[in-house]
Structure 1
């Protein structure tokens, strides 16, 4: 039945909202919906051609109703496609704002890309999504270049404490702080200014201790 495939796509979108990963792009399902839209357009054209150029909706209620239903199905399919791609685009934007590097792209596998892990490019991403991811990152980098004194990717919530205790989860090399260089080696602990390590916390290198 027309619309069943689009309903499956929306179910996948709802599942995506509750996951911490970006699932594999449903290419086969999307292509099937596009083919269905084209079939619907073809059926509408056939009906209109059969009625002739002077056809008026009031002349044949049966044909008018059939065309109306087909057009409603097309519109619904298109809205479902737009909703699916908008949701995935928002998740890609979240990756960029969370500090994922567009230049460090690896392979995570078909399970998706974890929002809390190091930057990686899932093999299940659509090529257009990869391009959008890089392009959005370039735009954000350009914007940040105009506001070098402000970390636009930082948390929107004001810190409760200026200095915090942290534990290093992964080796991260040296970072420059207000009080000098700090070498971040795995399992080491520091008492540092939160603003100096906030990005590393977001990227999963450092854990804030309570």
Structure 2
């Protein structure tokens, strides 16, 4: 039935809103909905072709009703496509603002899903990322735009947490090698499985990016 595939996209979008990560892009489903819109549009053209631009809905009500249903179905599918992509875009922007390495996380998510055999994590098309190529390009450009915007206020971290920290210094564990970083009290080298007692403001971004884990 027309619109069923679009509803599936909306359901995916609704689930995305409640997740901390971004699930795999539903490329096949998006293509199927797009094909349905094109097929409906072709049906409309075929119905109107015999009238040569002189169609009168009052005289051909059956055709008029068919055209109305097709137009409504096309509009519904387009709205579903827009809602799905808008939800994913909002999630991508949120992750970028939080300082997460979105492209690295999306690739890690697919690798972890493939290793565990988890359903719903891999996109099923052999992709090495849960993002579409267009989304990866969008993330890069949005990140560059955000960096340029933040560069106007070098003394303020616009992407930092709005909640004041409970403790100025925290214990952290290194989850993956991050190399040497400069802190207010000197340089430290972050090697996997090492632990440090550091100023929270110096490592907030690394925690958000998944390099460090805050220990309670």
Instruction: Classify the TM-score, shorter chain.
Output: 0.7 to 0.9
Tell me, yes or no, if the aligned pair for 2:16 and 2:23 is still in contact at 8 Å: yes
Matched residue, 1:16: 16
1:209: Cα distance to partner? 4.0
Matched, 1:189 2:189: no
1:36: Cα distance to partner? 0.6
SS at match of 1:208: strand
What's the TM-score once normalised by structure 2's chain length? 0.79
SS at match of 1:181: strand
Q: CA deviation digits over 1:72-125, x for unaligned, max 9? A: 00000000001111111122222322223479688433649xxxxxxxx95342
Cα distance between partner residues in 2 of 1:133 and 1:28: 21
Cα distance between partner residues in 2 of 1:101 and 1:144: 17
**Mean CA deviation greater in 123-132 or 48-57:** 48-57
1:143: Cα distance to partner? 1.2
Change (3 A) 1:11 1:103: closer
Aligned Cα RMSD in Å? Answer: 2.6
What's the TM-score once normalised by structure 1's chain length? 0.81
Tell me, yes or no, if the aligned pair for 1:168 and 1:184 is still in contact at 8 Å: no
Query: What stretches of structure 1 of length at least 5 have no aligned partner?
Result: 113-120
Tell me, yes or no, if the aligned pair for 1:3 and 1:76 is still in contact at 8 Å: yes
Cα distance between partner residues in 1 of 2:20 and 2:185: 36
**Mean CA deviation greater in 172-181 or 149-158:** 172-181
Tell me, yes or no, if the aligned pair for 1:102 and 1:137 is still in contact at 8 Å: no
SS at match of 1:151: coil
1:5: Cα distance to partner? 1.0
Change (3 A) 1:102 1:4: closer
Cα distance between partner residues in 2 of 1:56 and 1:152: 59
Tell me, yes or no, if the aligned pair for 1:33 and 1:77 is still in contact at 8 Å: yes
Matched residue, 2:65: 65
Matched residue, 2:88: 88
Matched, 1:143 2:144: no
Matched, 1:178 2:184: yes
Change (3 A) 1:65 1:102: closer
Matched residue, 1:132: 138
Change (3 A) 1:102 1:134: farther
Cα distance between partner residues in 2 of 1:79 and 1:104: 30
Query: What stretches of structure 2 of length at least 5 have no aligned partner?
Result: 115-126
Bigger helix share: 2
In the alignment of these two chains, the number of paired residues is 200
Matched, 1:208 2:204: no
